[in-house]
Amino acid sequence: MKKVNRYYHKKILVLGLAKSGVGAAALLHKLGAFVTVNDYKPLSENPEAQSLLEQGITVICGGHPIELLDEGFELIVKNPGIPYHNQMIKEAGERGIPIITEVELAYQISEAPFVAITGTNGKTTTTTLIDEILEAGNKAPLIAGNIGKVASVVAQKAAGDNTIVIELSSFQLMGIDEFKPRIAILTNLYDAHLDYHGTVDEYISAKANITRNQTEDDYFIVNADQEEVMKIARSSKAKIIPFSSKRTLEEGGYVKDGWIYFNEEKIMDTKDVVLPGAHNLENILSSVIAAKLLGVANEAIFKVLNSFAGVKHRLQYIGEIHERRFYNDSKATNILATQNALAAFDAPVVLLAGGLDRGNEFDELIPSFTNVKALVTFGQTAAKLEEAGSQAGIKTIIRVDNVEKAVPVAFQLSAPGDVVLLSPACASWDQYKTFEVRGDIFVEAVHKLK
C-alpha cells in the first residue's frame, strides 16, 4: 500500500455504507482523516455502522440531513448506488465539495496496476476469466470491484507484482478522478440503468470514464463490432486493441477458421472452449487479449478456457440428468440477456422464465424462441411471456407458482438431448430478494431431481 498523506486531518464524509462504504471509511480512518459516516438505515439495524462506531469513527444514521454539509467537509466518498440527483449529493455539488467513489481511493493507494472491465453485459464473466487465466499463468492476480470484493480493501493488500482485476459499473466510474487502469476493457454498450443516469448519453459518458485518464502507455480493449464503443475508442489516448467475434481483424482478437487468434497468432480451437454462447466468445476474446498483453502463455489460456463453465448464475452449467443438460442463467434480468442465452444452444430448450413486471412486453423475444420446445412461466410476467410464446408457436406452455415448482415440470417436458434453461428475462424482486437467491433455488431443485 502506498503512503498517502493527502487525507491526513481532512474532514471527509462517507455517504452510504454497504461493503464499499465500510471499506472506504476504515481506510480513510487509517490514513488519518476525520471521517464521518452517514447512512440511511437506523443504527439499531445497522451492524456495519456499529462496527465503525467501535473504531472511533463518527456515525450518523437514520437519514441524510442536508445540514450535515455545514460541517465543512473537504471530500465526499459516495456509495455508487446513491444517484447524483439525490438531494444531499446535489447540494454538495452546488457547494463545490468534490465527490468520488471508493474505487478512486483504491487506485490512489494501490502499488499494483489495474485491469479494469466495464460494459453493459459480460463484465463479470470477463473479469472472472481474466482472473483465472492470470492465476493459471502465475501472474498473482487479485480480483476486486463490482464482483463482490471491495477494491479499497484489496488494494491495501496488493504489492507491485500483483495485478488487480476489477469489474466496474457506470455508477462507480462516475466518481473517479485520477483512476487510470493499465488495461481497460469495454465489452459492449446497450441502453441500461436509465432510471439512475436519466439519459443514454450520460450512461455512455460514465462508461467512457474507464479510459479517460489513460495514456499512450496503456491499453484499451474494445468491441470492434459496436460503433458506439469504437466512438469512445477514437477519443482515447491509449493503445487501442479491438476484438470481434464476427470478422477477421488486422490486429487484436478474432476468430478465423474456427480458431481464436491474437494478432496473427493461433491461440486455441473454439471446439476446445467449454463456455457456450456467441456473446461469451466476445468475453473470451477480450480476456485472451488482456492475458497476452500481460505475458501469459497459451498453455495457461487453454487450461482455463477448456474447463471454465461459467460464472455462477450466468449461463452456469449445473449438470446432466438422464441426458438433459441444466443451465442456471438467473442473472438474465432483461430480454437481451435471455436472447443471448437462447442463442447459445442448438439443442431444443425447455425455458423457465418470468419475474418482476416492469411494464414492458416480450415481443422482442419471439424471434429467439425458435428452438424453445416448451415454456414454463412464473411470477408477475407469466401471462405476458405466455402470450409471446403463443405468438412464437410454442405448443407447450405451463404456468407454475415459482422456480422450485418449475424445475420438475420442465424435466417432465424435456427429452434426452434437451437443454433445461432458467433464463427469466426479468428481475427477481416480485418473488425473490435477489437473482442469486432465485438461481440458488433453481440449482437446489435440480439437485433434488438427481
Mean pLDDT across the stretch 239-264?
96
What pLDDT, on a 0 to 100 scale, did the predictor assign at position 4? 93
Task: Give all strands (DSSP E) within 238-323, no chain letters.
Answer: 239-244, 253-256, 259-262, 265-269, 316-321
What pLDDT, on a 0 to 100 scale, did the predictor assign at position 199? 81
Give the chain's mean pLDDT: 94
The matching CATH number, chosen from 3.30.160.160, 3.90.190.20, 3.30.230.10, 3.40.1280.10, for 316-449 is 3.90.190.20
398, burial (CB in 10 Å: exposed 0-12, middle 13-18, buried 19+): middle
Q: pLDDT tens-digit profile of 216-251?
A: 999 999 999 999 999 999 999 999 999 999 999 999
Helix crossing, 278-293 with 123-136: angle to 10°?
40
Distance separating the N- and C-terminal Cα atoms of the chain:
49
| Residues 422 and 330 sit within 8 Å (Cβ to Cβ) | yes
Higher pLDDT, residue 394 or 146: 394
Cite the DSSP H helix spans in 100-150: 102-109, 123-136
431, burial (CB in 10 Å: exposed 0-12, middle 13-18, buried 19+): middle
| Res 191 pLDDT > 80 | no
What pLDDT, on a 0 to 100 scale, did the predictor assign at position 336? 87
What pLDDT, on a 0 to 100 scale, did the predictor assign at position 197? 62
| Res 111 pLDDT > 90 | yes
- The H or E element containing residue 203 is helix 200-208
In the chain, what percentage of residues exceed pLDDT 90?
85
What pLDDT, on a 0 to 100 scale, did the predictor assign at position 279? 80
Q: pLDDT tens-digit profile of 29-40?
A: 999 999 999 999
**pLDDT tier at 193 (50, 70, 90 boundaries)?**
low
What pLDDT, on a 0 to 100 scale, did the predictor assign at position 360? 87
283: cell is 468475453
What pLDDT, on a 0 to 100 scale, did the predictor assign at position 145? 85
Q: List the domain boundaries for the chain.
A: 11-100, 106-305, 316-449
| Res 383 pLDDT > 80 | yes
Q: How many CB atoms lie within 10 A of CB 396?
A: 12
| Res 121 pLDDT > 90 | no
| Residues 400 and 409 sit within 8 Å (Cβ to Cβ) | yes
| Res 201 pLDDT > 90 | no
Q: How far apart are CA 264 and CA 220, in angstroms?
A: 19
* Look-up of cell digits 485518464: 213
**pLDDT tier at 107 (50, 70, 90 boundaries)?**
very high
| Res 147 pLDDT > 80 | no
| Residues 136 and 294 sit within 8 Å (Cβ to Cβ) | no
Sign of CA dihedral 120, 16, 33, 53: negative
Q: How many CB atoms lie within 10 A of CB 62?
A: 15
Mean pLDDT across the stretch 267-292?
93
Q: How far apart are CA 162 and CA 152, in angstroms?
A: 15
Verdict on whether the full-model pTM lies above 0.75: yes
Give the closest residue to 241 by CA, choosing from 286, 283, 197: 286
Q: pLDDT tens-digit profile of 409-426?
A: 999 999 999 999 999 999
Q: How far apart are CA 446 and CA 450, in angstroms?
A: 7
279: cell is 456473446
| Res 403 pLDDT > 90 | yes
Give the closest residue to 355 by CA, choosing from 375, 380, 329: 380
Annotated binding site: 119-125
106-305: what fold? UDP-N-acetylmuramoyl-L-alanine:D-glutamate ligase (3.40.1190)
Q: How far apart are CA 255 and CA 363, in angstroms?
A: 32
Q: How many CB atoms lie within 10 A of CB 58?
A: 16
DSSP 3-state of 223: strand
| Res 166 pLDDT > 70 | yes
| Res 192 pLDDT > 60 | no
Q: pLDDT tens-digit profile of 333-374?
A: 989 889 989 998 989 999 999 999 988 899 999 999 999 999
79: cell is 456509495
Higher pLDDT, residue 269 or 121: 269
Annotated binding site for ATP: 119-125
11-100: what fold? Rossmann fold (3.40.50)
